[in-house]
Amino acid sequence: MRFYLDHAATTSLRPEAGEAWLGAATVLGNASSTHAAGQDARRLLEECRERVAAVLGCDPIEVVFTSGGTESINLALRGLWLSRGGGTSAIVLPDGEHHASMDSVAALVRDGAEVRAVPLDGFGRIRPDVFAAALPGAALATALAANNEVGTVNDSAALSAAAADAGVPFHLDAVAAWGHVPLSFRRLRGDAEAGEGLVAMSIAGHKLGAPVGVGVLVVARSARITASMHGGTQQRGLRAGTQDVAGAAALAVALERTEAEREGEASRLARLRDRLVAGVLREAPGSELLGDPVGRLPGNAHLLFPGAVGESLLFLLDRAGVAASTGSACQAGVAEPSHVVRAMGRDERAARSVLRFTLGRTSDDADVDAVVEAIGEAYARASGARSAGRS
């Protein structure tokens, strides 16, 4: 039996989303065709767009279906930067963002953008006052609603308000947070002026029980944004190409179910997570919970194991049937030290000694028990192996 504690990487398909996908995939017709079959597909697609908009708190026309989080973020950051007004080419980029944002910005730097970094505090939080101080005159800003590695939840309302006050267009990466904490695009946007404040928000379907390959970028009607994909006028010209009706149908169901279950799931997962953290701290003396102990995603437990390499722990846990993650990106199969843990002020050794356990819809007490049972021996062996390797 396997115990899956990596729901932040991807979570299982919701059966209802799978059924909706299959049902829509059998509707023949390109949603851009004018014949009756095309119009049937179009009707279904637009109905899904309305349902998605209702859940995300935006207008249907503001929903741009994409292939997932990375594409949404690329479209938002490049698109906003290309449409910037005169003046500065600065992009406000907090430390510890997801690589989809970091690497999109790095590509824009090669095209002449400058980066204004925003340091994190020791819990991995973006402090709204520090963020606000970086904004004046910037071309755009981006931030995580919640950090996907350490689980720290940011104050998205305060960050959006700061961007609106500074007259800067703001993109929110809600991929890790949406469905776990309340996030309404309309409420966060408030009464910001056209093209300022929160103008774009990224969502990925596979984190919420839809299949891999579908996501959303919410783009405010008033946003000034340039397309990256060319070849058609679909979706306000922002995302050319034949539209994925089946993906939209699956996503609509997944978002609706996730939102309907959100509060109940948040308390259920927080209880499981707290039991997991208490058990690990007891069985692996010296381990430490990282990230905000209170303002964190309900299903996220991110722990430091001093003296052990995260990948060795992963390997040993995997042999015990437990699937976890170091949370950080891999280069050629080798985990990099976590840039998030570094941004929280820890040294490189600590940034290589972390594990992330993430719980989701199918998690239960047996998953927690499996981790708690396996972690003591895994930590002893991983830290022993490390000191033996060095001598």
Ligand X SMILES: Cc1ncc(COP(=O)(O)O)c(C=O)c1O
- Catalogue the active-site residues: 330
Q: How far is the CB of 284 from ligand X (least distance, A)?
A: 26
Between residues 45 and 217, which has the closer beta carbon with respect to ligand X? 217
Contact 52, 219 (CB under 8 A): no
Between residues 297 and 309, which has the closer beta carbon with respect to ligand X? 297
Q: How far is the CB of 107 from ligand X (least distance, A)?
A: 15
Residues 197-256 that bind ligand X (CB under 6 A): 204, 206, 215
Residue 176 near ligand X by CB under 6 A: yes
**One of 49, 64, 70, 214 touching ligand X (CB under 6 A):** 70
**One of 11, 74, 104, 148 touching ligand X (CB under 6 A):** 148
**One of 6, 173, 196, 292 touching ligand X (CB under 6 A):** 173
Question: How far is the C-alpha of 287 from the C-alpha of 276, rounded, in Å?
Answer: 13
**One of 11, 49, 68, 379 touching ligand X (CB under 6 A):** 68
Question: How far is the C-alpha of 313 from the C-alpha of 386, rounded, in Å?
Answer: 11
Residue 69 near ligand X by CB under 6 A: yes
Contact 164, 198 (CB under 8 A): yes
| Residue span binding ligand X (CB under 6 A) among the ranges 114-122, 169-177, 236-244, 344-352 | 169-177
Q: How far is the CB of 97 from ligand X (least distance, A)?
A: 8
Residue 164 structure tokens = 């609106």
Between residues 146 and 225, which has the closer beta carbon with respect to ligand X? 146
Contact string 24-43 vs ligand X (x = CB under 6 A): --------------------
Residue 100 near ligand X by CB under 6 A: yes
**One of 45, 138, 140, 144 touching ligand X (CB under 6 A):** 144
| Residue span binding ligand X (CB under 6 A) among the ranges 87-95, 168-176, 294-302, 328-336 | 168-176
Residue 175 near ligand X by CB under 6 A: yes
Contact 223, 61 (CB under 8 A): no
| Residue span binding ligand X (CB under 6 A) among the ranges 16-24, 62-70, 182-190, 370-378 | 62-70
Between residues 69 and 79, which has the closer beta carbon with respect to ligand X? 69
Q: Tell me how far the alpha carbon of residue 132 is from its chain's centroid.
A: 22
Query: From its phi and psi, is residue 292 left (phi > 0), alpha (psi between -120 and 50) or beta?
Result: beta
Q: How far is the CB of 200 from ligand X (least distance, A)?
A: 13
- By the criterion CB under 6 A, which residues form the site for ligand X? 68-70, 73, 98, 100, 144, 148, 173, 175-176, 204, 206, 215
